[in-house]
Amino acid sequence: MAKRSHVTTTINGDEYEFLCEPDQSLVDVLRNELELTGTKEGCSTGDCGACSISLEGELVCSCLVLGVEADGKEIETIEGMAPSADELHPLQRHFLEINGLQCGICTPGILVAAKALLEKNPDPTETEIRFWLAGNLCRCTGYDKIIRSVQSAAAEMRGG
Amino acid sequence: MATILEESGFDPNAELKVVGTNPVKHDGLDKVTGRAKFGADAFLPGMLVGKILRSPHAHAVIKSIDTSKAEALPGVKAVVTRDDFPEKKEGTGAGDMTRNMMAREKALYDGHPVAAVAATSERVAKKALKLIEVNYEVLPHVIDPVEAMNADAPILHDYLRTKGAEKDEDKPTNVTERMVTQLGDIDAGFEDADIIVERSYDSKPMHQGYIEPQACIADYSEDGQVELWCCTQAPFVYRDRLSAILDIDCNKINVQQSELGGGFGGKTGFYGEPIAILLSKKASRAVKIVLSRIEVFRGTGPVAGTSYTIKMGCKKDGTITAAHAEMIFQAGPFAGSMYFNAPNAMFTRYDIKNVDVIAYEVLSNRQKVASFRAPCVPQIVFGVEGVIDEMSRKIEMDPIDFRLKNAAEDGHTTIYGDTWGPIGFIETLKQAKECDHYKTPVKEGEGRGISTGFWFNRGGETAASLNLAPDGTVTIAVGTSDVAGSRISISMMAAEELGIPVDQVRVKMADTNSLGFNRVTAGSRTTFSVGMVIVDSARKCIAELRRRASEIWDVPEDGIVFEEGMCRPASANVGDFEPLSIADICKQTTMSHGAICGHTEMNVTGAGPGFAVNIVDVKVDETTGRTDVTRYTVVQDVGKAIHPQQVEGQVQGGAIQGVGWALNEEYIYGDDGRLQNAGFLDYRMPVASDVPMVETIMVEVPNPAHPFGLRGVGEVPVVPTMAAVGNAIGDAVGIRPTSLPMSPPKVLEVIEQAKSEGVCKL
């Protein structure tokens, strides 16, 4: 058996250490080694976006990143999105209020991706939101209320 | 058990406080924070990883399977093959099911399971699969359903004979059944017609496309008790069918459903679950099986592909006089495509006196059909509404007026024998005609399509419990699944009936040991059926609350009314008592009398049919054949929207699934019978940038059989969709496509044809 690598990383502000196989994906590590199951795995090929996380501030599909690549890096996942135990991120709140989720399996990835969009572009057009989220599949909603939730959260975050 | 819901108590003038509002769903918070536990999100101590070996051949005799090398690999704790499944007779329900779970005599499709292992890690499990030696004798295969009907087609099952065959031939066939559905006099109907249109259509298998791959954990203890955790739309059906194919008593299989990451019908039947149970039994450890996306495409059910002809006739005034269809449904290797829905639903919503439909279900070497929203209906409505569109053009009648001319009214008796109560089809058509979208002229260079759809909506066996806690709050246990928010709708109906805020109610999806049998969560039945059962349970609680209030006040029970969550004296004559809230009564009497609970088990009937009208604008690119949907409006009769936001979500989601089916989604097989596009890159579902917002107009013609008037809403949205997109492309191009999906190459062909016939509008 191949030797497992020792990896030290920061996830949602906390230091984590883990051992992983050289070919083990980061989403596999997050979910099955660290039991951070908020990040979902829908395809393992970077097509569905359910495993979206932030790695060193960049939006990535964690199924396309190796666990060993996380060494010394900063990761943010859905579990770290709410600022505190009794306060949600505006995106989380607006998704709840506008019903931007149905089954909820794509929701963590979409929230992480939407957060990354609003950090780059606080006032995106509908088209910009649609193209930014084109890497995040949702089969339940038809995207309508997802787009509206992002628009509404963005407006609040701009102070609108 | 007797129910007290003999009268629904529906009151069109009731002032509803909770029903019709949009509270945040109780399961929502856990879903935006990542806390919600879906199928793959659970772990058990000592749990093993299960992996499935699948046939690379579409059709092959399995001559032998040698698992000895895999078993010898360190870390492998169990290997199962066909030999571990109890023998069940071929051609029976259990026989077909067990053979679809694990290939027995033959592998019948690319992806058919042939063996499975449980090991201490994924790496070891994958390595073990490679060590299993399967000796196949590859046979000729057939995937196309029309070819599968030919006399010289490869035969999947030598024992199969056609039920309802025209000629009684004792010869193997791939046709499971020939079904004839008739009404009136079809020949006379066509003789009455001034215009007759006949067209042939076809469609390919498409996948339900849920984002959560199937996942389960089975834990088989030494005393034969199975604990099964899985994502499912049908925990009780899973239990009963697992019992049937594994010879385990129902009470020894406890199914606990996880959160469900999408199903759309595709999780009404199991795949990895029986394999995980057998692996767990052999290994004496819990076993988790999570399918990969490739396995989901190769190993789980897409819908039926079809090939069919529709012929309809109408008078110059628009009256449809006759409707005929001959249809072939591609079922996969076993019967069970639910094709019988099509004859009953395809024309239903129009009042047509003369109907003649012949339908065949045909086996082929592809994945077994699994249910999908309104099974087997949307792909046929694609043709029906195409012919209707052509007829309305020929007599130069507005497409909505044409449909109004033929629309079924209240009291209509359907082809399947039901007589309808109040229905909203005419109202949906009228509102479609009056809506902004329809009144806005089609943009230059675009096309517009109209179509309509119907779904029966279902009831069925439903059992649930409603418990009043000592503090007066309410817990509800249901045995149905929550596919997209039924928990909040159920909470709202309970809160409405009990006169309390919705936050005081919580719904839990119980395990199968805790409740009586519940039918699958499918067919747009859940919010309707559980609503009936929960209102009945709430009324039982209210009756008990009144009894106890009468004891506390020492007055007759009929002197007490229950209003706004309180027991009150019915009049001043009863006495001057402070009203007692649910909490007051529970606090005062739970210790002395026991808890107040209502539970109801019913085979729920009275589901009101649902109807939708779609208006779709498209832009077709002349050079590439690509179609963009530019505007989409759905008008749907929802009876009564319990949670309007959720209902809109169902409608929008169904419509966009239909857009995918209309424009892109299909299973593509190579000449070798292998699936060539088993991934989201090549199997292209709509992404956010492909589609517009979906305007939703909810028509509320109440269903009086339900306490709040609701109709199921989940199936209808997809029914008219592909037809509406097709009619819009036809309007844009000049010729209406007849083959699904209407992908760019096919639309280019239609454009070429339109040009050669001099009718191209691009």
Chain B (101-160) residues lying within 8 Å, Cβ to Cβ, of chain A:
122-123
Asked whether the beta carbons of residue B649 and residue A97 sit closer than 8 angstroms, the reply is no
Average pLDDT for B457-476: 96
What's the pLDDT at B4? 54
What's the pLDDT at B2? 46
Domain spans, chain B: 28-36+459-604, 42-140+208-299, 405-456+608-756
Query: Which residue in chain B has the smallest CA separation from A38?
Result: B34
Is pLDDT of B648 > 90?
Answer: yes
Nearest alpha-carbon partner for B702 in B618, B624, B638: B638
- Is any Cβ of chain B less than 8 angstroms from the Cβ of A1? yes
Q: At what angle do helices B526-553 and B486-498 cross, to 10 degrees?
A: 30
Asked whether the beta carbons of residue A127 and residue B25 sit closer than 8 angstroms, the reply is no
Which are the contacts of B138, defined by CB distance < 8 A and separation ≥ 6? B57, B59, B60
Is A90-157 in the same CATH topology as A5-80? no
User: CATH number of the domain at B28-36+459-604, please?
Assistant: 3.30.365.10
Edge-first strand listing for the sheet containing B580-581: B560-563, B566-569, B580-581
What's the pLDDT at B687? 98
What percent of chain B stands above pLDDT 90?
A: 97
Q: What is the pLDDT of residues A46-56, one digit of tens each?
A: 999 999 999 99
Residue pairs between chains A and B whose CB atoms are closer than 8 Å: 179
| Cα torsion through B186, B192, B195, B200, rounded to 10 | 0
What percent of chain B stands above pLDDT 70?
A: 99
Say which of B41, B484, B679 has its CB closest to residue A43. B679
Is B405-456+608-756 in the same CATH topology as B28-36+459-604? yes
Q: Are B500 and B466 in contact (CB under 8 A)?
A: no
Q: What is the pLDDT of residues B623-635, one digit of tens each?
A: 999 999 999 999 9
d(CA A70, nearest CA chain B) in Å? 21
Asked whether the beta carbons of residue A38 and residue B694 sit closer than 8 angstroms, the reply is no
Asked whether the beta carbons of residue A103 and residue B28 sit closer than 8 angstroms, the reply is no
d(CA B369, nearest CA chain A) in Å? 19
What's the pLDDT at B669? 98
Is pLDDT of B159 > 50?
Answer: yes
| Cα torsion through B78, B81, B85, B88, rounded to 10 | 180
Chain A CB contacts of B649 under 8 Å are 99, 102, 140-142, 144-145
Query: Which residue in chain A has the smallest CA separation from B34?
Result: A38
Chain B (195-214) residues lying within 8 Å, Cβ to Cβ, of chain A:
208-213
Chain A CB contacts of B49 under 8 Å are none
Is pLDDT of B1 > 60?
Answer: no
ipTM, 2 decimals? 0.98
Is pLDDT of A99 > 50?
Answer: yes
Asked whether the beta carbons of residue A145 and residue B645 sit closer than 8 angstroms, the reply is yes
d(CA A135, nearest CA chain B) in Å? 7
- Is any Cβ of chain B less than 8 angstroms from the Cβ of A69? no
- Is any Cβ of chain A less than 8 angstroms from the Cβ of B687? yes
Asked whether the beta carbons of residue B262 and residue A103 sit closer than 8 angstroms, the reply is yes
Q: Are B451 and B635 in contact (CB under 8 A)?
A: no
Supply the pTM of this predicted model: 0.97
Confidence of residue A2 (pLDDT cuts 50, 70, 90): low
Domain spans, chain A: 5-80, 90-157
User: CATH number of the domain at B42-140+208-299, please?
Assistant: 3.90.1170.50
Residue of B22, B24, B26, B32 to mutate, interface with A, max A Cβ within 10 Å: B32
Q: What is the pLDDT of residues B573-625, one digit of tens each?
A: 999 999 999 999 999 999 999 999 999 999 999 999 999 999 999 999 999 99
Distance, CA of B406 to CA of B426 (rounded, Å)? 10
* Domain formed by A90-157, architecture: Orthogonal Bundle (1.10)
Say which of B212, B263, B688 has its CB closest to residue A42. B212
Is pLDDT of B762 > 60?
Answer: yes
Element (H, E) at B430: helix B425-434
Distance, CA of B483 to CA of B260 (rounded, Å)? 6
Is pLDDT of B5 > 90?
Answer: no
Chain B (212-231) residues lying within 8 Å, Cβ to Cβ, of chain A:
212-213
Amino acid letter for position B446: E
Q: Which fold has domain A5-80?
A: Ubiquitin-like (UB roll) (3.10.20)
What's the pLDDT at B183? 97
Chain A CB contacts of B262 under 8 Å are 103, 105, 139-140
What's the pLDDT at A5? 96
Is pLDDT of A21 > 60?
Answer: yes
Average pLDDT for B702-706: 96
Q: Which fold has domain B405-456+608-756?
A: Aldehyde Oxidoreductase; domain 4 (3.30.365)
Asked whether the beta carbons of residue B33 and residue A78 sit closer than 8 angstroms, the reply is yes
- Rounded to the nearest integer, the mean pLDDT of chain B is 97
- Is any Cβ of chain B less than 8 angstroms from the Cβ of A40? yes
